[in-house]
Chain A
Amino acid sequence: NAGVMQNPRHLVRRRGQEARLRCSPMKGHSHVYWYRQLPEEGLKFMVYLQKENIIDESGMPKERFSAEFPKEGPSILRIQQVVRGDSAAYFCASSPGTQTNTGELFFGEGSRLTVL
């Protein structure tokens, strides 16, 4: 499967616990983006990473949220001390290092976080 892979697809956490969401980009893609979709809303940009570098984290909440894309392995979005408002679908997208003709991002199927 050459698509963007996200896991887990569904994650349930209690308030105060930690959530870790993983994303493996498409083969050959070195750029990863995380988006969040709250119920009844559109996708909101959170963070853009390249291998071992955070390029733009302007959409990340200042506290409790962090992201990484190590040299080896998937990108990880980490949410510490989750609250009910963190319940959402988290989508990862990837793109190649060079500009594609269409400028599109390729999305995974999302990880749905439910905080009880």
Chain B
Amino acid sequence: DQQVKQNSPSLSVQEGRISILNCDYTNSMFDYFLWYKKYPAEGPTFLISISSIKDKNEDGRFTVFLNKSAKHLSLHIVPSQPGDSAVYFCAARASGSARQLTFGSGTQLTVLP
């Protein structure tokens, strides 16, 4: 039972354009959502997060949007840079949980120069 789903295994974008990565979830108890970035042979690194009481959070080139009614969130990267090429994982945490995160399967983003 995949509670966090990233339906696009890969995405290619031209440098300078916008990258939009999508994530859907099924568990209504999720109250905090995070995006992690992972390079090959490295551990995931935190990128940006959003609480369920908000619908948008922005940090530089990265913006996360949350649509609670649709149980959908997205990560926008603009402008995209070749160094953004990595696997992006969506993660969620349930309220009252012991802080562990549930991860999606990831989307490989390739930014073409």
Interface residues of A (CB under 8 A from B): 4, 6, 31, 33, 35, 41-45, 48, 55-56, 59, 91, 93, 95, 102-110
Contact = CB atoms under 8 A, between A and B. Distances in A.
Contact of A42 (B32, B46, B99, B106): B106
B53 interface: no
Contacts of B26: none
Contacts of A56: 98, 100
B99 A95 contact: yes
B98 A103 contact: no
8 contacts: A42-B103, A42-B105, A48-B98, A56-B100, A59-B100, A107-B44, A109-B43, A110-B43
Given A42-B104, A102-B34, A103-B93, 12 more contacts: A6-B43, A33-B100, A42-B106, A43-B44, A43-B103, A48-B99, A48-B100, A55-B98, A104-B34, A105-B46, A105-B99, A107-B36
Interface residues of B, number: 23
Interface string B25-54: 000000010101000011111100100000
A45 B102 CA distance: 7
Contact of B101 (A45, A55, A108): A45
Contact of A44 (B36, B98, B103): B103
Contacts of A102: 34, 46, 49
Given A42-B89, A45-B102, A103 B41 contact: no
B103 A107 contact: no
Nearest to B34: A104
A61 B53 CA distance: 35
Q: Which residue of B6, B32, B44, B102 has the most chain A CB atoms within 10 A of its CB atom?
A: B44
A65 B83 CA distance: 37
Contacts of A107: 36, 43-45
Given A43-B89, A43-B103, A103-B99, A108 B43 contact: yes
